Amino acid sequence: MTKDFPWYSKYPAGIPHEIGPLEYQSLIELYEVSGENPRKIAQVATGADGRADVIASGPLPLGKYGLRFVVGDYLRKQGAAAGKPAFLDFVPIRFAITDPTGHYHIPLIFWPWGYTTYRGS
């Protein structure tokens, strides 16, 4: 933990709400990545709790997908962007659907200089 950014360690689903109020929602884009050109399937804004239901329309079929978390705008609004341009503008995450009936929770934990993710429960 740093003195300047004490909020870096715990964020729900992509939004470091400890920075301040969630007056700005972050965008998350979902892509199908089956060929050379990814195809955008959905774009949603996170809610006040930092979460978003990206696939509200139903389960995704077997395949490869990508999430694109737009974090630069959020960090700039919070006065936390590192550098001009920001070191992180967006975060891409590639993943595979191996069980269309399974639950896929993919949280993003980020700060101005880095991020981490995992398959949540």
Q: Where are the domains of the chain?
A: 17-115
- Is the distance from CB of 113 to CB of 91 less than 8 angstroms? no
95-105 burial code (b ≥16 CB/10 A, e <16): eebeeeeeebe
Per residue in 64-119, pLDDT (tens digit) is: 999 999 988 888 887 776 677 888 889 999 999 999 888 888 888 888 888 999 88
User: Under CATH, to which class is 17-115 assigned?
Assistant: mainly beta
**Is residue 78 within 8 Å of 50, Cβ to Cβ?**
no
Top pLDDT among 43 and 56 is at 43
- Taking the model in full, what pTM does it have? 0.75
Number of CB atoms found within 10 A of residue 84's CB: 7
Contacts of 39 (CB under 8 A, 6+ apart): 31, 32
Q: Using CA atoms, how far apart are residues 8 and 1, in angstroms rounded to an integer?
A: 7
